[in-house]
Amino acid sequence: MRPPILDPLFAPVSTLPGIGPKIAKLVSGLVGGQPDRDATVSDLLFHIPHNLIDRRHQPGIAYSESGDIVTLDVTIGRHQAPPRNSKAPYKIPAHDETGEISFVFFHPRRDWLEKTFPEGERRIVSGKVEWFNDRPQMVHPDYSLKPEEAAEMPSIEPVYPLTAGLASKTLQKAMRAALERVPNLPEWLNDAHLRQTGWPDFRDALQTLHMPKERQDMEPQSIYMQRLAYDELLASQLALAMVRANMRLLGGTARKPDGALQQSVIDALPFHLTDSQSNAIREINEDLAEPTRMLRLLQGDVGSGKTVVALAALAQVIETGAQGGLMAPTEILARQHYASMTPLCEKAGIRLALMTGKDSQKQRRLLQERLDAGEVDLVVGTHALFQGSVSFKNLGMVVVDEQHRFGVHQRLALSGKGQGVDVLVMTATPIPRTLVLTCFGDMDVSRLTEKPAGRKPIRTVSVSLDRLDEIISRVGAAISEGQKVYWVCPLVEESEKIDLAAVEDRHRVLEHALRQRISLVHGRMGADEKDSAMSAFKNGETKVLVATTVIEVGVDVPDATIIVIEHAERFGLAQLHQLRGRVGRGDKPSSCVLLYKGPLGETAGARLNIMRETNDGFLIAEEDLKLRGGGEILGTRQSGTPGFRIARADEHADLMEVARDDSRLILEMDPELKSERGVALRCLLYLFGRDAAIRLLRAG
């Protein structure tokens, strides 16, 4: 049960002054309450201001800069009221010793204006100054107070992210009331840590962030932000560690076959494993031999050879008589895995099946019968695999490819289809360590750090679009030497038609300039059309493929050696890296031409530089994180780090590591959270919505 001390914070926002049912809905949408109920006071409190207005700024009229919010001490002049039916604004001139300004009002309420800005009197007026034709004006000032009332104006005002229909004054008022409800909570951080960092307590930190005294108070590295970010990270790390401890406790199976099946898969490969691959397989075998469940993340850049590692791992489990499942994010990828695994499985004697959403009812029924009878050892499929109707005779291991596209729920749904199912998660998008921790918690990680032998590095250059002709003639020279070229044009969703025209245009221009047939692939084409264009390029009938980013995933033409990416400045780093990964797959040196349209913005310039400097996907992902913040790497649009309200993967990476170690230590010393600190930590878990983990304690 929730500790009663938290009750005031879990009351709905509609209990706050000024928040009726309608406003409560708006507020809930803004601060992220649950879909079926109003946001709580605590939800509101974690809605931290993103800016502040400093009304202490009093430069005088003449020295006020356009766009600044200033406070002026002025004498009000004669009102310039427009005729009654005119749409013209109502203007009130005023002056101080430095100059003159106009206060401007649309749809004026005249009697109110006469009272608030009485002619000839002194007023303290605050608002945003704008200069027009060398004259300053202030449209709808925020405050106009008598000099003796000036103290009523807050000198520093927080500015909150808002939503349409919600006035900032309403939110500020509710927030002040919410802050008063924050109780003195028991401290969940240990004394030494607090002394060492100089952090304030939770309530202090929260109060300061909502009522900052200085701009620095709100910066990610201020002690107030650090304190709250750490609290949030600790809650998340602690919950993940509890879930993990619980999964382990639920028991796995010690799988210690003699490894003959795994060996025969490896022997069937037409190449030698890289050291990274061998290491990963060894780490997995060790996990499997333990009586606890495996939870391991296999990270490897595009083309590093994760599939083989997965198959070897599955073979180890299959040899013990259990079944395996491999889940891919798309049907194309599922089919690709199925096709590449078929010959290996045949040689090793593993009975392989494919399951996708396109299967007929009859196919599905037959497959289900074989799964139930244990006549299938390994099934490769899409999310169709974890539908409720699918069952296994004895599921022992699940491999999930491209994990970040699946939610935790789906992963749990699949691993729930067997007893103590071991889980291996593979990701091709290199997720930086900091994000691994946020999203997966304390998972074990194996990394494939090297590419298979014989791969040549890719030379990357960036060239201005002004030099298009030069690039086209170089492409011409390359294809006359027998090379193959991808030419990628960007697709911006909002203007698909224009982009389509651009791709078709580029196709025409290149056919004309190079005097030969060129393949074209874009998203609007039918599957057959696409296939035939692709295969013409693959088998060499055409030497150039003009494409939109549809080629990003799943295309394999090993003898393509050049990729030109047009308008490279419009692509994100991760996408550029994925695209570049289409070349450099054979034994010939390859190159990547980033064709940009100048002038380049700062971020775009930085991206192209990083691309030129490195081929290392992990490094690129880390840089990407710095440039964009965590959210976008995982494909979510909101800014900030997914699942977090305060902590940010880019700014608080160091805190994440500390929180992880801290939570480990906590569970080692007090696995039931029963000590004094443990009880305080339960409060923390509730506060940040991580209390589901507490239920596991009770179950265990």
- Footprint of ligand ADP on this chain (CB under 6 A)? 271-274, 277, 300, 302-308, 428, 452
How deeply is 133 buried, as exposed, middle or buried, from its count of CB atoms within 10 A (0-12, 13-18, 19+)?
Answer: exposed
Whichever of 141 and 300 has its CB closer to ligand ADP, that residue is: 300
- CB of 300 vs ligand ADP, minimal distance in Å: 5
- CB of 459 vs ligand ADP, minimal distance in Å: 21
- CB of 334 vs ligand ADP, minimal distance in Å: 13
- CB of 302 vs ligand ADP, minimal distance in Å: 5
- CB of 274 vs ligand ADP, minimal distance in Å: 5
Backbone angles phi, psi at 515, to 5 degrees: 50, 50
Contacts (Cβ under 8 Å, ≥6 apart) of 38:
12, 13, 14, 24, 25, 27, 28
Question: Where does 481-601 have alpha helices with state H?
Answer: 496-514, 527-538, 573-580
Q: Which tokens belong to 497?
A: 């038609």
Count other Cβ atoms within 10 Å, centred on residue 201: 16
Are the beta carbons of 314 and 492 closer than 8 angstroms?
A: no
Are the beta carbons of 569 and 490 closer than 8 angstroms?
A: no
Whichever of 175 and 399 has its CB closer to ligand ADP, that residue is: 399
Name the residue number minimizing CB distance to ligand ADP. 305
Whichever of 452 and 523 has its CB closer to ligand ADP, that residue is: 452
Whichever of 302 and 491 has its CB closer to ligand ADP, that residue is: 302
Whichever of 247 and 308 has its CB closer to ligand ADP, that residue is: 308
Whichever of 301 and 632 has its CB closer to ligand ADP, that residue is: 301
CA 323 – CA 418 distance, rounded (Å): 9
Amino acid identity at 379: V
- CB of 306 vs ligand ADP, minimal distance in Å: 4
CA 552 – CA 550 distance, rounded (Å): 5
- CB of 378 vs ligand ADP, minimal distance in Å: 16
Peptide bond into 12 cis (omega under 30): no
How deeply is 352 buried, as exposed, middle or buried, from its count of CB atoms within 10 A (0-12, 13-18, 19+)?
Answer: buried
Whichever of 8 and 452 has its CB closer to ligand ADP, that residue is: 452
Q: Which residues pair with 563 in a beta bridge?
A: 486, 592
Q: Which of 492, 469, 457 is nearest to 595 (CA)?
A: 469
Place of tokens 């109060």: 207
Are the beta carbons of 38 and 14 closer than 8 angstroms?
A: yes
Whichever of 101 and 555 has its CB closer to ligand ADP, that residue is: 555
- CB of 659 vs ligand ADP, minimal distance in Å: 30
- CB of 428 vs ligand ADP, minimal distance in Å: 5
Question: What's the count of helices (H) and strands (E) in the chain, helices before strands?
Answer: 23, 21
Whichever of 144 and 316 has its CB closer to ligand ADP, that residue is: 316
CA 118 – CA 104 distance, rounded (Å): 15
